[in-house]
Each structure stands twice: as C-alpha cells, then as structure tokens.
Structure 1
Amino acid sequence: MGIAVFLAGRLGALARAGVDALVKPWWKARVTGASRAFPASTFLINVSGAFLLGIVTGYAAKNASGGAQDFAAVVGVGFLGAYTTFSTEEFQRLGLLRKNSAVQAFNVLGGLCASLVLAAFGLWLGGLI
C-alpha cells in the first residue's frame, strides 16, 4: 500500500504542476490590476481537491470494504495530498498580506467557504456511488 500511496503522490504533484501551468498564464492574460496578484491556480487546485476528497471519502464511507478503504487512502492521502497543499496557500496569503492586497479577504474567506461547500457536496455525491 505504501508504494501505491507514493506513486499516487507523484501523480498528484504532476497534476498540480499541470493545473498551475495552465491556469497561471490564462489568469494573467485575462485579469488586470490588483486582481492579478490573486493566486487563482492555488485557489482552483485546493477547491477542486476538497471536492474530490469529499467524493473519495463519501465513497469509502458507504462502501466499507477493504478495497474502498485502500482506494481512499491511495487517492486521498497520496494523490490529493500531493495535489493540494495548505502550505503553498499560506505562503501566497502571506505575500498578499505583505502587499496589503484587498484580494486577501476573498482569498481567505472565499477559499475556505468554497472548499467547505464543495467538500460537503463531494461527500454527499460520493455516498451515492
């Protein structure tokens, strides 16, 4: 199981880098002013990761077999653990605070609220699978 978590973590890190590489240039090309400082790729990654973790957890809770639990560990801990990262979000948030950016309020509240809502929706959705 440890090797599966490790390999899933490698894939999660690659997925994170891929989403970041796609979103950053798109955001910078379409947004002007102070809003350009908003870490849109980190926001999208963490919110989508919360949603996916909700689905995986809901699925594992409904299907209590060993296979479902192993799947949840590999995907939740391995892939999604590497895909999302609280430390990157906090580092970017600190940078925004140091710049006195008004975007900070949305980054803090919006990210937490969106992640919570999507995690709950994912948990419900995963329970249907």
Structure 2
Amino acid sequence: MGSGVASVLLVALGGAIGGMGRFAVSNLLARQFGTHFPWGTFAVNISGAFAAGCLLGILGLPSGQAPTSFWLLAVVGALGGYTTVSSFSLQTLALWQSGYPQRAIANVLGTCLLGFAMVSLGWWLGERL
C-alpha cells in the first residue's frame, strides 16, 4: 500500500471517529440544553479548535515537510470530522430565518472569536508541555 493510500485511510479513520464524537456531543448537549441555540455544534467547534491548537503546540508542523501519520489521523481526520462549518452555517441561517437574528449573530461572533481564542490558548499550552 502506497503512502498516498495510507494517508487517505488515516484521514478516513480519523474522520469516522471525529464524526461519531460530534454526533454524540451534539446530541448530548441538545438533550441537556434544548435546541433554541446550537450548543452542540458550538461546543464541538470550540473544543476542536482548542485540541487542534494543543496538538500544533505539542507537535509543531514542520514547514516544507509532509504531515506525520499522527497529524493526518488526529488533526486532519478526527478533528476535521469532529468540527463542522456546514452545520454551523446551516444552524446560523436557521436561527436568522426563524426570527432570531441576535442568536444568529451571537453564534457567528462566539464561534469565530472564542474559536480563535481557544486555538491560540491550546497552541500556547501545547508548546509548554
């Protein structure tokens, strides 16, 4: 099996694991807090940003080199499958169209600002481990 095929399989395996994690967290938070705001998608995107930052801080990403197998599995696959821009976008549009523009704006600002803060915090902490 060539390295290209192995890389695709690692990303696919990680994506399956991450997608199942997203499904579990989203459903748990929807049951816990209701569906008036997309708390599950918000939580996975924020926690995924933090985890990605931690892994970047711990592992680094050497410029000009191919990503490691672990990076492909964990960051590209698992965290790529765990976090979601499509659900975030659809849920934000649904809030807006349902007459909740303040919630839609809060979702966009909160996800983007807190996501950036969490990836930065994760990177900072990861570098210190």
Task: Give the TM-score taking structure 2 as reference length.
Answer: 0.84
Deviations 1:21-70 (A, max 9, x none): 21101002xxxxxxx52101110010001000111111221789x8x833
| Runs of at least 4 residues off by over 2 Å | none
* Deviation of 1:110 (Å): 1.1
Q: Which residue of 1 aligns with 2:126?
A: 126
Percent of aligned pairs sharing the same letter: 32
Number of residue equivalences: 120
Counterpart among 5, 8, 14 of residue 2 in structure 1: 8
Distance in structure 1 (CA, Å) of the matches to 2:93 and 2:77: 27
* Deviation of 1:3 (Å): 1.5
* Deviation of 1:2 (Å): 2.4
**Higher normalized helix content (fraction of residues):** 1
Unaligned runs of 5+ in 1: 29-35
Aligned-pair Cα RMSD in Å: 2.0
Unaligned runs of 5+ in 2: 1-6
Task: Give the TM-score taking structure 1 as reference length.
Answer: 0.84
Distance in structure 1 (CA, Å) of the matches to 2:76 and 2:62: 18
Preserved contact between residue 59 and residue 127 of structure 1 (Cα < 8 Å): yes
